[in-house]
A and B are shown apart, each in its own frame.
Chain A
Amino acid sequence: MSERPAIRVEGLWQVFGANATAALAAAKAQGGSRGDIAGRLLDQGLIPAVRDATFDVAPGELFVIMGLSGSGKSTLIRGISRLVEPTAGHVDIEGEDVLAASRKRMTELRRTRMGMVFQHFGLFPHMTVLDNVAFPLKVGGMGRKARHEKVMPIIEMVGLKGREAAFPRELSGGQRQRVGIARSLAGDCSVWFLDEPFSALDPLIRRQLQDEFLEIRQRLNTTIVFITHDITEALKLADRIAIMRDGVIVQIGTPTEIVLNPVDSYVREFSKDVAKGRHARVGSVMRSDAGDVGPDDPGLRSDMTLEAALASCMSLYEPVPVRDGDGKVVGMVHPGDLAKALQVEET
C-alpha cells in the first residue's frame, strides 16, 4: 500500500443529538480514550454512532465493513459519502477532502466519482428500469438519447436486458437490486459504496448476486466499500474486513487474520460459526525458518486453505515444507499446528 489510498478516513465521529459538534469538541478537550469521550457524550443524552473511525482503502481494494445492526456501519458509510454530515474527522477520496467540498462540488463528485447501492434498493417507483438506471446521467444533464445508449450495456451486464420498460413494482427482489447496481454504475464511478446490498434477498439469490458482483468487480476495478452483517459474505468477498462494534472499529484485517487471530471475544464470536479451514490459508500458520523439515513433501503451498492442506498431510507427524506459487520453499508447517489452528474456537 505504498501508493496513495483511494479513500482515507481519519478520526471520523458521527454524533447524533442537539449541538453535537460543540459537545464532541468539549468532550474531546477533556482528553482520555475514545471510550471516555463517548461515555461523556452518552451521559449528555447524545448518541455517538461512529466513534473515531480511522482506516485507508487502497485503489481497487474491496473493503468490507462488518458489524451487527446498530454497530454504526451504515452510519459510517453515510458519513464517508456525506449523506449525513460527520461531526468531526477527515474523509479524503482520491486525494480530495470530501468534507470540505461545497454543495456544488459534492453534487459533481457524486455524478462523476461515487456510486451507491442501498439495502432496500431505493428505486424510484415512478420510473422504468431504464429511467432509474439513467437517472444519474439525466440529472447530470445528458440528453435522453445519449444516456439511454450509455446505460444499455450496463443493463445488459446486470442481466436485465428486455426488462427496460418494466417498473420496479413488477420486478422480483433480486431483479430490483440488479437495477440498483446498474444505476450506481451509470455514472462511471471510481468509488463504489454498497450498503448491505444483498441482505434483503433470499439466500439462493444472494449467493448468485454475490458471484455476479465479483465478476462485475473484476471488470471494473473500482474501489469498493461494502457493508454487511453477514460474516460469510464478508469472508467470501473481502480483500480486507473492518469489524465494528458500538460505533468503534475493533479490528481491521484480511479474512484470514480475522478468522485466525480475532482480537477479542466479540470478533471471535463472529468467526465461531465459520468453517475456518475454508477461509484461513497455510501462509498464516507456517513458520518461515525452513530448517528442520521431515522427509515427506505433500506439496503444500502458502495460499492453500487449511482444510485442503490438512487433507494432504493427514497421516504425517513431521513438519513439512511450504512453497510459494513459483515452487520455491518459503517455510514449513507442522501438521499438528494446522489441526490446532482449526480448533481455536474451542479454547
Chain B
Amino acid sequence: MSALLKLSPGLRAALITVLTGALCLALEPVAPWLVKWPADWTLPATEWVGAALEWLLGGIKPLARWFSGLLGYPMAWANAALTQTPWPLIIGITTAIGWYLGGLAMAALGFVGLSFVLTSGYWQESMNTLSLVAVSVPLALIIGGAIGILANEAPRIKPAVQGVLDVMQTVPTFAYLTPLLLLFGFGPVVGLIASAIYAAPPMARNVLLGLERVESEIKEAAVMSGGTRAQQLFLVEIPSASLQIMVGVNQCLMAALSMVIIAAVIGGNNDIGWEVLLQMRKANFGPALLAGLVIVVFAIVIDRMSGALATERKRYDPRVAYGILALAILAALLAARFLPGPPSWSLFDGAAQWVDDGLGAFNTEHGAKLTDFKNNTMFFAFLPLRIGLDDAVLPFTWGFQWTNAMSLWFFGVAGALAGVLWATGRPVAGLMLLIAAGVIETGVANLPWPFLFVALGALGWVSAGRNLAVMVVVLLSTILLSGLWEPAMLSLYLSGISVFACAIVGGLLGVLCAISPLAWRFIRPVCDMLQTIPLFVFLIPVLMFFQIGEFSAFLAICLYAIVPMIRYTRHGLANTPGDLVEAAVASGATPMQILRDVRAPYAAPTILLGLNQTILYAFAMLVIAALIGTTGLGQSVFLAIGQADVGLGISAGAAMAILALIADRLVQGLAEERRRALGL
C-alpha cells in the first residue's frame, strides 16, 4: 500500500482501474452482479419521478392551461400578421433591415434568401414557423434578461443560477417536451413554450456575463456621479454591456428557431419542420432537402442579421432602408393586383424531383457499395466496441468464431506490449493500452459497472481532485439505481465513437487549417454553415445515403459535433504567442518541430476545451439522432414523448444530462490542470 502511494497520481489511478477491471472479469462466473447490475436491485425511480411529476404537474395544470390559452392570442396575432402581410412587404422589410445592419451584402442576403423561400412553395409553412419564433423570442428575451439582471443584482444567488443554467444547457432538448406535453397538451403552444424555455438560458448567461464584464471603473464612475442603483443599472451598466447582450439575443434567436423546428415532431402546426419530417418519412428526399434548405436559409438570415447587432460596426444610411420599404409597398400593391398568391409557387419542385431521381439512380447503382461500407464499419469497428470482440466476432461477420483461447492471446499480447511500455518508462501508456484492450474485448455496453465507476472516478480525481471523483461516482450510481444503466451505456458507446471520430478527424483538420491558411479559407465557411444549421436538418443528407440506423445517427452526430474540434484545434495551434514561436525559430527548430514541441503543448488546454464542446454537441445531437433509429437514452426520451410518459422522459433526459455533465467536468478538469501546468 505504501508503495502504491509513492506512485504518481495518474499511474496510481490507471493501476487501480486495471486491477478493478481484471477483478471484475475474473469474478464474473461467481458474481455476475459485478458485471451486470441485476434488474430487481434497481429502484423504480422512473415511476417515482413520473408519479411525483404527474402529481405536481397535475396541480399546476389548470394554471398552465390557462397560460397556454393566454399565449394562444399573441400566437394567433403573430400568425395572422405574418401570413396576412403581403409577401413583397415581408421580403422588403427583411431587405431594409439587412441594409441598415450590414449594407449591400446583408440586404442581398435577406432578399435572395426570402425570395428562395417564396419560390420554393413553402412560404405558408415558413410563416407558421416564424410566428412561433416571433412569440417565443420576446418571451425568452424577457425571462432570460430578467434572470440575468436578477443574478447580477443578488450575488448570493448567482452561483445557483449559473449552476441551473449549466444543467439546462446539458439537458437534451427533447426532454423538455414530455412534461410540457402533460402540462399544456398537444399543440403549437408546447413548441412555443419549449422554445422559450430553451432559448432563455443563453440570454440570461450573456446578460450576466455582459454586466459582469463592464469595467469596474465605469461602474464606479456611475456610483460617484450619484446615480441610484436603478440609474446605474439602466443608464450605464446595461448600455455598456449592450454588445454582449446582443450576442445573447443572437444565440436566443438561433436556439428558439432550432427548438421550434424540433418541436414539430409533436405536430399540430403546419410548419416547415413538420414538412421536413413528413417528407423524410415518405422517403421523399428531394422535397425534404428543399424544405431543409428553407430552414437553413432562415437560420442563416436570422443569424447573420442578429450577429451584426453584436458588432460595433457602423449602421448604414436609414434613408436607403426607407426607399426599399417604399418599393416593397409598391410591389405589394402591384402583387395584390397581378400576381398569384405565394402558395402556388413552386419553382424548385423540378429540382427536388431531379434530386430524388438522381438519388434513386445513384443508390441503385452504388447502393451495394454504400451498404458494404456501412456494414463493414459496423461489423469491424462499431460492433466490437459495443458488445465486445467475444460477442461480435462470429462466422457470419468476421468469418470465424471468437474463442476463449483467442481472448487469452489477445490479452497476452496487450499485456506484453504494456510491459514493454512500462519497461521503457511509460507505465501510464502501458496501462492505458491494457484498459483499451479490455474495453474492446468486453464492449462498452457490457462493461462491468464497478470498472466504470472506478475508471471515471479515478479520472475525476486526477483531473480535479476528490470532490469531482465523489460527484462522478454519486451521479453514476443514480443512473445505475434507476435502472437506466443499459440505455445509458448504449448512449455512451454511440457518443463515444462519434466523439472519438470527431477528435481524430476534426483534430487533423484543425492541424491542417493551422498550417495552411488556404485550407482554413475553405473549411471555415463550412464550419460556420454547420454551426448555423438547426440540428434537425443534419438528418436529411445522412438518411439519403445510409437509411435509418445507427450508422446514419453516427454520421449525423459527427457532422454536427466535429466543428468545435476543428475550430479550437486551429485556434489553439495558430494563436501561440509570437515570441514563443520566434524563440523556437531562433533556436533552430523546423516548422514541424515547432508544431509538435511548442505549439501543441501550448494549445493543449484550448484543444481540450474543443473536445469538451464536441462532447456536449454530440450529446445534444444524440436525442435528435434517435429520430432515425438509435438505441439508448435518446430512444427512451423519444418513446416517452410518444407515450406522454413523464417519468421516463425526465429520467432518461436526466441520465443523459448526467453523462454529459460528467464528461464536461472531467474534460474541463483536465484542461484546467493543463493550463495550470503551463502557468496560464
Chain B residue at minimum C-beta to C-beta distance from A116:
B224
The answer, yes or no, to whether A255 is at the interface (CB within 8 Å) is: no
Q: B209-248 toward A: CB 8 Å interface, digit per residue (1/0)?
A: 0000001011011111111100100011001101000000
CB-defined contacts of B222 to chain A, threshold 8 Å: 124, 135
Q: Interface size on B (CB < 8 Å)?
A: 18
CB-defined contacts of A122 to chain B, threshold 8 Å: 215, 217-218, 220-221
What's the Cα separation between A172 and B235 when bound, in Å? 24
The answer, yes or no, to whether A32 is at the interface (CB within 8 Å) is: no
Residues 91-147 (chain A) with a chain B CB within 8 angstroms: 107-112, 114-116, 118-126, 135-136, 138-140
Judge whether A135 and B217 touch: CB under 8 Å.
no
Partner of B225, one of A120, A121, A187: A187
Which of B215, B225, B239, B242 neighbours the largest number of chain A CB atoms within 10 Å of its CB? B225
The answer, yes or no, to whether A81 is at the interface (CB within 8 Å) is: yes
Q: Interface size on A (CB < 8 Å)?
A: 31
Judge whether A136 and B225 touch: CB under 8 Å.
yes
The answer, yes or no, to whether A190 is at the interface (CB within 8 Å) is: no
CB-defined contacts of B240 to chain A, threshold 8 Å: 124-126
Judge whether A119 and B225 touch: CB under 8 Å.
no
CB-defined contacts of B236 to chain A, threshold 8 Å: 124
The answer, yes or no, to whether A240 is at the interface (CB within 8 Å) is: no
Partner of A187, one of B218, B226, B228, B239: B226
Judge whether A83 and B223 touch: CB under 8 Å.
yes
What's the Cα separation between A160 and B102 when bound, in Å? 33
What's the Cα separation between A108 and B226 when bound, in Å? 6
Q: A136-176 toward B: CB 8 Å interface, digit per residue (1/0)?
A: 10111000000000000000000000000000000000000
Judge whether B221 and A110 touch: CB under 8 Å.
no
Chain B residue at minimum C-beta to C-beta distance from A124:
B236
Given contacts A124-B240, A139-B235, A118 and B217 within 8 Å (CB-CB): yes
Judge whether A139 and B228 touch: CB under 8 Å.
yes
Judge whether A184 and B242 touch: CB under 8 Å.
no
What's the Cα separation between A184 and B226 when bound, in Å? 11
Given contacts A125-B240, A126-B239, A184 and B224 within 8 Å (CB-CB): yes
Judge whether A183 and B221 touch: CB under 8 Å.
yes
What's the Cα separation between A83 and B226 when bound, in Å? 11
Given contacts A124-B236, A125-B240, A107 and B221 within 8 Å (CB-CB): no
Judge whether B226 and A139 touch: CB under 8 Å.
yes
B9 to chain A, nearest CB (A): 26
Judge whether B239 and A124 touch: CB under 8 Å.
yes
Chain B residue at minimum C-beta to C-beta distance from A139:
B227
Q: A313-332 toward B: CB 8 Å interface, digit per residue (1/0)?
A: 00000000000000000000
Judge whether B217 and A119 touch: CB under 8 Å.
yes
What's the Cα separation between A337 and B617 when bound, in Å? 79
Given contacts A107-B228, A120-B217, A139-B231, A126 and B223 within 8 Å (CB-CB): no
CB-defined contacts of A111 to chain B, threshold 8 Å: 225-226
Residues 252-291 (chain B) with a chain A CB within 8 angstroms: none
Chain A residue at minimum C-beta to C-beta distance from B231:
A139
A265 to chain B, nearest CB (A): 33
CB-defined contacts of B223 to chain A, threshold 8 Å: 83, 110
Chain A residue at minimum C-beta to C-beta distance from B240:
A125
Judge whether A135 and B220 touch: CB under 8 Å.
no
CB-defined contacts of B220 to chain A, threshold 8 Å: 78, 83, 116, 118, 122
Judge whether B226 and A107 touch: CB under 8 Å.
yes
B581 to chain A, nearest CB (A): 30
Judge whether A139 and B225 touch: CB under 8 Å.
yes
What's the Cα separation between A81 and B225 when bound, in Å? 12
What's the Cα separation between A138 and B227 when bound, in Å? 9
CB-defined contacts of A83 to chain B, threshold 8 Å: 220, 223-224
CB-defined contacts of B228 to chain A, threshold 8 Å: 107, 139
B211 to chain A, nearest CB (A): 14
Given contacts A121-B217, A123-B218, A124-B218, A110 and B242 within 8 Å (CB-CB): no
CB-defined contacts of A187 to chain B, threshold 8 Å: 225-226
What's the Cα separation between A121 and B221 when bound, in Å? 9
What's the Cα separation between A183 and B226 when bound, in Å? 12
Judge whether B227 and A107 touch: CB under 8 Å.
yes
B325 to chain A, nearest CB (A): 27
Partner of A116, one of B221, B231, B235, B239: B221
Judge whether A110 and B225 touch: CB under 8 Å.
yes
Judge whether A140 and B226 touch: CB under 8 Å.
yes
Judge whether A135 and B225 touch: CB under 8 Å.
yes
Which of B218, B223, B226, B235 neighbours the largest number of chain A CB atoms within 10 Å of its CB? B226
CB-defined contacts of A138 to chain B, threshold 8 Å: 235
CB-defined contacts of A108 to chain B, threshold 8 Å: 226
A22 to chain B, nearest CB (A): 18
What's the Cα separation between A125 and B218 when bound, in Å? 9
CB-defined contacts of B226 to chain A, threshold 8 Å: 107-112, 136, 139-140, 187
Chain B residue at minimum C-beta to C-beta distance from A81:
B224
A126 to chain B, nearest CB (A): 4
CB-defined contacts of A114 to chain B, threshold 8 Å: 224
What's the Cα separation between A108 and B240 when bound, in Å? 24
What's the Cα separation between A17 and B155 when bound, in Å? 15
What's the Cα separation between A261 and B610 when bound, in Å? 60
What's the Cα separation between A126 and B243 when bound, in Å? 11
What's the Cα separation between A83 and B225 when bound, in Å? 12
What's the Cα separation between A187 and B221 when bound, in Å? 13
What's the Cα separation between A107 and B231 when bound, in Å? 11
Chain A residue at minimum C-beta to C-beta distance from B228:
A107
Chain B residue at minimum C-beta to C-beta distance from A115:
B224
CB-defined contacts of A180 to chain B, threshold 8 Å: 221
Q: A252-277 toward B: CB 8 Å interface, digit per residue (1/0)?
A: 00000000000000000000000000
What's the Cα separation between A109 and B231 when bound, in Å? 16
A142 to chain B, nearest CB (A): 11
What's the Cα separation between A83 and B242 when bound, in Å? 24
What's the Cα separation between A81 and B223 when bound, in Å? 10
What's the Cα separation between A125 and B217 when bound, in Å? 12
Which of A107, A112, A123, A180 neighbours the largest number of chain B CB atoms within 10 Å of its CB? A107
A169 to chain B, nearest CB (A): 8
Residues 180-229 (chain A) with a chain B CB within 8 angstroms: 180, 183-184, 187, 193
Which of B215, B221, B228 neighbours the largest number of chain A CB atoms within 10 Å of its CB? B221
What's the Cα separation between A184 and B223 when bound, in Å? 12
Chain B residue at minimum C-beta to C-beta distance from A107:
B226
A166 to chain B, nearest CB (A): 15
A76 to chain B, nearest CB (A): 14
CB-defined contacts of A109 to chain B, threshold 8 Å: 226
What's the Cα separation between A78 and B219 when bound, in Å? 13
CB-defined contacts of B217 to chain A, threshold 8 Å: 118-122
B223 to chain A, nearest CB (A): 6
What's the Cα separation between A109 and B225 when bound, in Å? 10
Chain A residue at minimum C-beta to C-beta distance from B230:
A139
Chain A residue at minimum C-beta to C-beta distance from B225:
A136
Chain A residue at minimum C-beta to C-beta distance from B239:
A126
Which of B217, B218, B231 neighbours the largest number of chain A CB atoms within 10 Å of its CB? B217
What's the Cα separation between A116 and B226 when bound, in Å? 11
B132 to chain A, nearest CB (A): 33
B436 to chain A, nearest CB (A): 44
What's the Cα separation between A114 and B226 when bound, in Å? 9
What's the Cα separation between A163 and B465 when bound, in Å? 57
What's the Cα separation between A184 and B242 when bound, in Å? 25
What's the Cα separation between A184 and B221 when bound, in Å? 9
What's the Cα separation between A107 and B224 when bound, in Å? 8
Chain A residue at minimum C-beta to C-beta distance from B229:
A103
Q: List 7 A-B contacts (CB under 8 A).
A: A83-B220, A110-B226, A118-B217, A122-B218, A124-B221, A124-B222, A126-B242
Residues of A at the B interface (CB closer than 8 Å) are 78, 81, 83, 107-112, 114-116, 118-126, 135-136, 138-140, 180, 183-184, 187, 193
Query: Assuming A116-B220, A120-B215, what are 20 further A-B pairs, CB within 8 angstroms?
Result: A83-B224, A107-B226, A107-B227, A108-B226, A114-B224, A118-B217, A118-B220, A119-B217, A122-B218, A122-B220, A123-B218, A124-B222, A124-B240, A135-B222, A135-B235, A139-B225, A139-B235, A180-B221, A184-B224, A193-B224
Closest 4 interchain pairs by CB? A111-B226, A122-B217, A122-B221, A110-B226
